[in-house]
């Protein structure tokens, strides 16, 4: 998908600014993206005009961002409006982060400015039919032939795979797994749209098949054999974004629930006056704040360059995703029959939230990682200095 808009640069991305943009531009279109199963080019341009596609990189690194706390606000607010757009922003940010951190100078000069500007959208191709949570079992292959790499393999569930311009692909070389940046228009790349997904329906998920796909020698990013380490680093950014997006879902559930409870009368009283309804609203409000604080802690640790951010991000993602599912379930309940209709967005929130428990490391995988870390580190306290 190509857009012609110059990016804004150096945004501080205040909540007031990004929140107003989301209310004006994203919220009104989210139901349509969900119903049609696709976004439109104009919203890509609107994001580009505000510098959102480049926000994962600081201005000093050639991006448009102002650090991880600001990034969390961006991804939370976009997630409040539309999880499909937030998912597209997530995978694009992952690909751009990988390019900036591990890409060759040739790859950077080819892609970076376009990706920062949103003129080239990125996607993340890790999952395969037999390699899901256990991505180390990936089978896609890359072999060297002269000045080229030749890729073969089958990737599943690629968010944005229908529209992306550049694909971050993980494949096994003779030395071990490696990461490649592949032009999505290269010969040998076949995209198959995935229909009927439970949530994030507008995120244009695709299966992508690589058949004798030839790319230049500069397409590899990072050392051969380092692919799993790169995937882990990129997944940390993805998890962070998804955690922030889940805070947005929680906030949207809170707003929808409060709005409905303030209007609907049953049993001679507004819903908000019934104590069991108050319990629902209190739980969503508490978990929204707690999840946001966990994301902010992970952000501050990232900005401080602390390795503790990895576990803080797992914890934030696990808590935010499970809380978002519970909040969306409760929000549907609070709306009664109307919660099961398209009249209100809470049904979409529930479908979108469920996806968040599966992507970027499922809830069970986060539990394994968190418990392993807690046991190894004897449940030590992590403070942000």
CA–CA gap between residue 213 and residue 148 (Å, rounded): 10
User: How open is the CA angle 372-377-381, to the nearest 5 degrees?
Assistant: 115
DSSP per-residue letters across 52-96: GGGTTSBGGGTSSB--HHHHHHHHHHHHHH-HHHHHHHHHHHHHH
Helix or strand holding residue 373 (H, E): helix 363-376
| Number of residues forming the site for ligand FAD (CB under 6 A) | 20
360 is known as an active-site residue: yes
Residue 127 Cβ vs ligand FAD, minimum distance, rounded to whole Å: 3
Site string for ligand FAD, 71-100 (x = CB under 6 A): --------------------x---------
User: Is residue 372 near ligand FAD by the rule CB under 6 A?
Assistant: no
46, 207, 357, 360: the active-site residue:
360
| Best CA proximity match to 325, nearest among 293, 358, 296 | 358
Closest approach of Cβ 191 to ligand FAD, in Å?
13
Q: How far is the CB of 371 from ligand FAD (least distance, A)?
A: 11
The only residue of 84, 159, 288, 323 in contact with ligand FAD, by rule CB under 6 A: 159
Distance CA 264, CA 158 (A): 41
- Residue 102 C-beta: closest distance to ligand FAD, Å: 17
Closest residue to ligand FAD: CB criterion: 132
Pick the binder of ligand FAD from 68, 158, 324, 332 (CB under 6 A).
158
Select from 84, 127, 251, 297 the one that contacts ligand FAD (CB under 6 A): 127
Q: Which two tokens stand for residue 166?
A: 């550049």
Six token digits for residue 131: 């390699």
**Distance in angstroms (rounded) separating the CA atoms of residues 125 and 182:** 10
Query: Which residues would be at the binding site for ligand FAD (CB under 6 A)?
Result: 91, 124-127, 132-133, 157-159, 197, 200, 205, 355, 358-359, 362, 364-365, 368
- For the annotated catalytic residues, the residue numbers are 360
């Amino acid at each position: 998908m190509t857009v012609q808009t110059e990016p804004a640069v150096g945004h501080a991305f205040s909540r007031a600014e990004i929140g107003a943009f989301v209310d004006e531009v994203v919220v009104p279109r989210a139901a349509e993206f969900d119903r049609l199963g696709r976004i439109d080019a104009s919203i890509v341009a609107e994001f580009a005009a505000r510098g959102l596609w480049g926000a994962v990189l600081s201005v000093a690194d050639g991006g448009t961002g102002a650090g991880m706390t600001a990034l969390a606000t961006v991804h939370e607010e976009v997630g409040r409006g539309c999880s499909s757009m937030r998912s597209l922003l997530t995978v694009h940010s992952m690909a751009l982060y990988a390019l900036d951190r591990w890409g060759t100078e040739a790859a950077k000069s080819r892609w970076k400015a376009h990706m920062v500007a949103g003129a080239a959208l990125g996607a993340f191709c890790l999952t395969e039919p037999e390699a899901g949570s256990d991505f180390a079992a990936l089978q896609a292959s890359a072999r060297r032939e002269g000045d080229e790499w030749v890729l073969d393999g089958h990737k599943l569930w690629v968010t944005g795979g229908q529209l992306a311009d550049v694909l971050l692909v993980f494949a096994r070389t003779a030395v071990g797994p490696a990461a490649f940046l592949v032009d999505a228009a290269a010969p040998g790349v076949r995209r198959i749209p995935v229909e009927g997904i439970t949530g994030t329906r507008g995120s244009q998920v695709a299966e992508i098949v690589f058949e004798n796909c030839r790319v230049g020698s500069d397409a590899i990013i990072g050392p051969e054999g380092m692919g799993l380490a790169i995937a882990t680093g990129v997944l940390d950014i993805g998890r962070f974004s998804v955690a922030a997006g889940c805070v947005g879902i929680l906030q949207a559930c809170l707003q929808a629930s409060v709005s409905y409870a303030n209007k609907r009368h049953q049993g001679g009283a507004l819903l908000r006056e019934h104590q069991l309804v108050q319990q629902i609203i209190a739980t969503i409000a508490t978990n929204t704040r707690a999840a946001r604080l966990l994301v902010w802690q992970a952000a501050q640790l990232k900005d401080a360059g602390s390795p503790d951010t990895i576990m803080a991000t797992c914890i934030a993602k696990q808590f935010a995703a499970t809380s978002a599912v519970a909040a969306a379930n409760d929000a549907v309940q609070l709306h009664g029959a109307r919660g099961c209709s398209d009249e209100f967005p809470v049904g979409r929130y529930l479908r979108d939230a469920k996806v968040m428990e599966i992507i970027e490391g499922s809830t069970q995988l986060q539990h394994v990682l968190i418990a392993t870390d807690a046991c190894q580190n004897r449940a030590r306290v992590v403070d942000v200095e």
